[in-house]
Each structure stands twice: as C-alpha cells, then as structure tokens.
Structure 1
Amino acid sequence: MAGLGSRYPQGMEPTTLRAVMAALRKPETGCPWDLKQDHQSLARYLREEAAEVLDALAAHAPGDPATEAHLCEELGDLWLQIAFHAQLAADRGAWDLHEVERTVVEKLVRRHPHVFAEVSVDGADEVLTNWAAIKREEKGLHGGEPRLLEGIPASLSPMEEALEIGRRCAKVGFEWPDMEGVLDKVKEEVAELQAESDPVRVEEEFGDVLFSLMQWARKKGVDPDTALRRQMMRFKGRFLAVEDDARSAGGWEFRNLDQMEAAWQAAKRKATS
C-alpha cells in the first residue's frame, strides 16, 4: 500500500485499529472525548454508521473506483464502532476484539458442518434449515421451543421485521407456492385499500399493502431497503433537474405542474438513455 505512511503524523508508523483504540482510551494521555464514551453513548454512532454503509451499498457499482472506495471507507467506519465497543470491554477486563473474532469464528464453523464437518446438504434452503436447527440446539431449546414469531429483535426497523416474519413463516411452509400468488395478494390488498374511506381502516389496509409488498420482495430476492434507497437516489437526481429548470425560469412560481412534469420526464429519459 504505497503512500500509506504519508497519512500518519510524522514519526508515527501505520498500526492496527486495535492499537489505535487502545491509545485513544489510555488514561491521562488518550483523547478526552474517547475517554468519556461508554456503550450507551456510542449506540447512536453505531446506528448512523450502519445506515451510511447501507447508503454506500445502495450506491455501489462493482468495479467502479469511486463507489468501491466509498463502500470501503464506510465499512471501515462501522468497523471502528465495533473496535470501540471491544476496547471499552477490554478496559474493564471483560473481553477484547480478539475474543469477538474468536466467538464469531467458532459460531460460523459450528453452523456450517457441511463445510467444516462430514455433513451433506442439497442447496441453500437446506443450509438455512440446518442453521436454524443448530441455533436452537445452541440455545438449549430441545423440545421446548418458543413461539415461531418470538424473539425477533425489537431494534429491527418495521421493514426488516416484516421480512423476518415472512422468513420464519416460510420455514414451516406457511408460504405462497409461487410468485404469482404473492403478486395476486398485493393486488388484492391494493384493491381493498382503494375501496376504504374510514381513516382507521385506510391505515390498516395500507399496512396490509406494505406487508404484502415486503413478502413479494423477499420471495423475489429483492432487498426492499436497497430498492427504496436507490429509488430515492434516482428521485433526488431527477428532481434536481426539475429544480434547475424552475430556477432558469425565475423560480417555482413560474412553473406549473405540467412544466415540472415535463422537466421530470426529460431527466428520466436522459438518465436511461
């Protein structure tokens, strides 16, 4: 990695993230801000960095230098948060970054007996079935399993939780047999939404539409979070053209809806040409 040393202060050699975190947290000589932090104060930064990784993934184009570098940088920021939490634990003598890695390595080896032991599987679906069985064994749930939809992390977004509910139900066979059945369900829910006027029922039917769309995306193999992020990126890019057109005309008051729609369609054609 030529030139890496030039990014460091004079006389400071490149080192590991673990060593940097230890220095930042060293009493008396460390960074005052870093020394003040605890697991709870860092939670907001973990959420923010995870969200920025998702944004980078939505914008990522494999092989494109700019988006490759951006994704690499954002993953580094997320890794920093993990290392920070591990350093807090190391400071109190509980565990450290090596223990985090050791724990996850042991878990991956244990849950992939088809790779690291003498177990055969027939495709990815069987891998997931075995994974779930091993996970139940790890938690000591023999015979007394919890309800299927119990234990879904409360920290998941509504979109993520909807997907997880669908995945769990599909594992026991409560699933549409084909894509056409899911799409029919989406159409059915949209029709019911259109037929409603009561505010309470409208909200319920709207929720049904969203939930059905999440299941369609899951079964189709589409990540709805990434799809929505990319749609919003496209929308913002096209709306910039609408705004530029309005500015060139003297302001929003000099553009009506038809003119704004024309500018939008022109931007859309340009983006797809």
Structure 2
Amino acid sequence: MDQKTSDAIVHDPDGGIDRLVEIMRRLRDRDSGCPWDIEQDFATIAPYTIEEAYEVADAIDRQAWDELKGELGDLLFQSVFHAQMAEEAGLFTFHEVAQGMADKMVARHPHVFGDETRDKSADQQTADWEKIKAAERAAKAEVRVLDGVALGLPALMRAVKLQKRAARVGFDWPSTDEVIDKIVEESRELVEARDELTQAEIEEEMGDLLFVMANLARHLKVDPEVALRAANAKFTRRFNKIEDILATRGKTPAESDLAEMDDLWTRIKQAEKAGRNYSE
C-alpha cells in the first residue's frame, strides 16, 4: 500500500476495522513506526491482553456502560496487535483471524446456520456444543482428556475447566457433600503443614485447598472468579467506609487498631444486610 492510500485510511473517521489494522501496521513499521510498538513481541503484549480483558469485565461488573465501549476497543486493539505481529512473522493475518472465528461460529451453531432444529433445551445445546468442540480437539490431535485447557488462564478459571473436563469421563464427586468433606480434609492438612512442614509444602497444601474450593464452586454452579471479584469489591467498599468513619474521628487506619476497625466492620456489615447505610 502506498503512503497516500495509507494516510487516507488512517485519517478516515469512517474507516472502521480497516483503519485500525492499518494504524497498527504503521505503528509497527520498522522505518517510521513507534519505537515502543516495534520492540514488542507476543510475550510482552500478552499481559496487556489479559489486563484489557479484565478491564472489560470490570466495566460490566460496575455497569459502567459509558466506559465499556472504550474497554472493548482496547481489547480489540490487542487482537489487532497480535495479528500484526503474526503477519510480520508469516503466520496469519487479522483477516484470517476474523474468518476463522466466523467459520467456527457457523460450524458450532448448526441449529442457527444449518439444518438442525432450534427446538432443543439449553442443556442439549450445551451438550451438542461440547461434542463439536471435542471433535475439533480430536482434529488437532488433542487426544488426552485435559488437552487444550489453556495454561495462561487465571488459576481458578483453569481449575474449573480442568475439573469439568475430568467430570465428562466420570471423574467427579456425585454431590457437594463429598467435596465439603474433602475441604475439611485439605484444611486439616494445611494446618499440619503450617505447624510441621516447609514453606514449599505449605504452598502445595494451600493449592490443594484452593483447587477443592474451586470444585465446590463448580458443583454449586458458581463461577469462582465472579464470586471472588464480588468479594473483592465488597471488601473494598467496606474498608473504604471504615476509612471514612475513622477520618471523622480524626484518625487514619494506621492510627487505629484491629479491635476498633473490626467493630466498625461488623457495624457496616450489619447495616448493609439490613439495607441501611451505616454512619456516625
């Protein structure tokens, strides 16, 4: 593409995705691009991709719809960035990424784009989806039950995906009772490790307990990532309230003590559960 045509696309406010792809190409141009963008590779950009995905989730959690458009744009740019680096390496193009996804969605929805009936329950459609994905994994020579579960997923999310895969072949507890028994067992082993074992062994036992907690969430049909994000938000909200109240008392948290802050936490929690806003 010549410079004049490129400039026309880059500065076209209605250029859409073609404009974004060309901007990325220009940013990576070895002669005239941005030095920072040129220096990046897949590994250095991957953390930003993960961060942008979480910022999308955060905007949705907060129902910050005015921010969501921008966050989705940031996430889309990550895909364009990776695709540009892939094209430079002769691997694939952004067009091929979009084409591949479109082909996948058509193949995975024969009840919408093919001749299968839409008259199915959600459970049946989920089962059909899993059969299609299993066939795709087989075509990629992913023959083991746990093959294809991405290593880069957040640990809690990956734990649930691993457990779901194992459950498909019958490796699963029949009810939450057995999972809770296992949590008790793992908790006891963690206490023993704390008192008697090395830090590495304590870490291992902590991991076992977290893995079983993720399994309990799965059995209860709770997404542990979503649940933990909500717990983080609740903790932040309540602690900020403690900080505000302490400020009215002429204190900072560092100038308070656990007894005072714990008492405030309990009062704030009780007020929230009663649908009130605690204040002094």
Fold shared per TM-score above 0.5: yes
Amino acid at match of 1:50: A
Structure 2 segments unaligned to the other structure (5+ residues) = 1-10, 276-280
Pairing of 1:28-47 with structure 2 (within 5 A): 31-47=34-50
Q: In the alignment, is residue 215 of structure 1 matched against residue 215 of structure 2?
A: yes
- In structure 2, the CA distance between the partners of 1:40 and 1:195, relative to structure 1 (3 Å rule), is closer
In the alignment, which of 98, 109, 114 is matched to residue 112 of structure 1? Answer: 109
Match of 1:234 in 2: 234
Measured after TM superposition, the shift of residue 153 of structure 1 is: 2.1
Amino acid at match of 1:135: K
Measured after TM superposition, the shift of residue 167 of structure 1 is: 0.4
Match of 2:5 in 1: none
Match of 2:250 in 1: 249
Structure 1 segments unaligned to the other structure (5+ residues) = 1-10, 62-66
Measured after TM superposition, the shift of residue 252 of structure 1 is: 4.4
TM-score (norm 1): 0.76
Match of 2:145 in 1: 148
Match of 1:157 in 2: 154
- In structure 2, the CA distance between the partners of 1:12 and 1:267, relative to structure 1 (3 Å rule), is farther
**Contact 1:21 1:83 (C-alpha < 8 Å) held by counterparts:** yes
Q: Per the alignment, in what secondary structure is the counterpart of residue 147 of structure 1?
A: coil
Match of 1:8 in 2: none
Pairing of 1:9-28 with structure 2 (within 5 A): 13-26=13-26, 27=29
Q: Distance in 2 between matches of 1:29 and 1:205?
A: 53
**Contact 2:24 2:80 (C-alpha < 8 Å) held by counterparts:** no
**Contact 1:246 1:254 (C-alpha < 8 Å) held by counterparts:** no
Q: In the alignment, is residue 267 of structure 1 matched against residue 268 of structure 2?
A: yes
- In structure 2, the CA distance between the partners of 1:25 and 1:163, relative to structure 1 (3 Å rule), is same
Q: In the alignment, is residue 182 of structure 1 matched against residue 189 of structure 2?
A: no
Q: Per the alignment, in what secondary structure is the counterpart of residue 149 of structure 2?
A: coil
Q: Per the alignment, in what secondary structure is the counterpart of residue 173 of structure 1?
A: coil
Match of 1:48 in 2: 51
**Deviation larger for 34-43 or 209-218:** 34-43
- In structure 2, the CA distance between the partners of 1:70 and 1:179, relative to structure 1 (3 Å rule), is farther
TM-score (norm 2): 0.74
Pairs aligned (count) = 256
Measured after TM superposition, the shift of residue 233 of structure 1 is: 1.6
Q: In the alignment, is residue 138 of structure 1 matched against residue 136 of structure 2?
A: yes
Q: Distance in 1 between matches of 2:69 and 2:240?
A: 28
Match of 1:166 in 2: 163
In the alignment, which of 59, 62, 70 is matched to residue 60 of structure 1? Answer: 62
- In structure 2, the CA distance between the partners of 1:18 and 1:174, relative to structure 1 (3 Å rule), is same
- In structure 2, the CA distance between the partners of 1:60 and 1:254, relative to structure 1 (3 Å rule), is closer
Measured after TM superposition, the shift of residue 81 of structure 1 is: 0.7
- In structure 2, the CA distance between the partners of 1:261 and 1:119, relative to structure 1 (3 Å rule), is same
- What is the CA deviation profile of residues 99-120 of structure 1, one whole-angstrom value per residue up to 9, with x for unaligned ones? 2121111112222334333446
Q: Distance in 2 between matches of 1:88 and 1:195?
A: 50
- In structure 2, the CA distance between the partners of 1:141 and 1:96, relative to structure 1 (3 Å rule), is closer
**Contact 1:46 1:78 (C-alpha < 8 Å) held by counterparts:** yes
Q: Distance in 2 between matches of 1:86 and 1:254?
A: 52
Over the matched positions of the two proteins, sequence identity in percent amounts to 36
Q: CA RMSD in A?
A: 3.2
Amino acid at match of 1:239: F
